[in-house]
Structure 1
Amino acid sequence: MSSKDWLSQGTLVLASNNKGKIVEFEKMFNDLKLPVEVIPQGKLDIEDAIEDGLSFVENAIIKARHASKISGKPAIADDSGICVPVLGGAPGIYSARYAGEHGNDALNNTKLLSELQPYRKPGQAIDAMFVCVLALVQHADDPLPQIFQGIWKGQVLEAARGENGFGYDPLFWLPELGISSAEMSKEEKNKISHRGQAMQLFKASLS
């Protein structure tokens, strides 16, 4: 089976119910002008998969297989989060539920700041990176999922800045630009973000 066979199916399911991610993906898929309809899984009444993998890659594949199995269509899934080296890579794959309640951005941000407090030193930045792994499966039992990975390096601020984006965007500082991820427009962010990078690799795979 060709790696592009899914293009002939007419529909690609986006295995996410995260509103922030869906908005970003819809914009990026729009820009790609794919000859398929990309449908968020919620429109097909598909609930979130149980993410019991131990890596971004495993969880992205679990989510893609889950959406593909229920819909009977090819599916693409994103697993992403923020990794902070001084915390041993945490929150990592647990980014969305770091504070215990899935998708509560305010609580997750507060917990991250609290966990970093002992590591704060005057004039010293705390490095971090946003990671995105996209997994594309032709069908639920696809033995060869396609994987696209993006890594966006930055630092963790001491307090939130900016009103845009979602998740940890208000805490993610880009020193070379002098702004936080939440101070960027969707267009600016999509060009350089972890998700934007993974989507560029996905796009390159189509040519």
Structure 2
Amino acid sequence: MTTDIPTLRQRLAAQSVIERLLPLGRSSLSSRGVARYLGAKGERIVGSILDSLPPEWTVLHALPIGARSSAIDHLVVGPGGVFTISTKHFGSKIIGVGKHGMTVSGRPVPSIRAAEFEAARVTTLVRERMPLVAPVQPVIAVVEPKQLIIHDRPEQVKVVHAGDLRRWLMQLQPVLTEPELMELDAIVDGPGTWRSRPDVAPGIAARA
């Protein structure tokens, strides 16, 4: 008898958001629902880009983490390291990036801080099994902005236009060996690694 063991590779980009929005339909969405719809669209676009990476890269989408419904948009493991990729689709707006924050049409959003926290959270989980692995790199992929202006680069977070994401990943210098990649692949693809984990710590703003 064959037993099918579910893995996280089976999840689709934006699966968590889509599952919440499907019963509503686009015409019934509130302004908050429209923002989620755009977010889901962005995740699908970035997911398609990441799925085109070579076989030595492991890509997971809508990674469930914590006791509630929070999910990491994308987790990528490859020769260049381990990356949490947060997709941001605000529509055709001007996105500004500074050393400590981001703005959308001049309005501050907590995306940088949230991305830093997300990567630190995954670093902690991975290091429970691989203590010496380098910290996870937080990345924000901005989808279809009117303009993406980098005033100053954040210290930890890489902010990149989604169209440049694949090229940026492929150009990174290798930092992981093949055995390390195999071990990391087994860790991140196991559902038991992620479930029943603490939710967002007090003081951390909701992701935008």
The two structures share one fold, judged by TM-score above 0.5: no
TM-score, normalised by the number of residues in structure 2: 0.29
Please state which structure has a larger fraction of its residues in helix.
1
TM-score, normalised by the number of residues in structure 1: 0.29
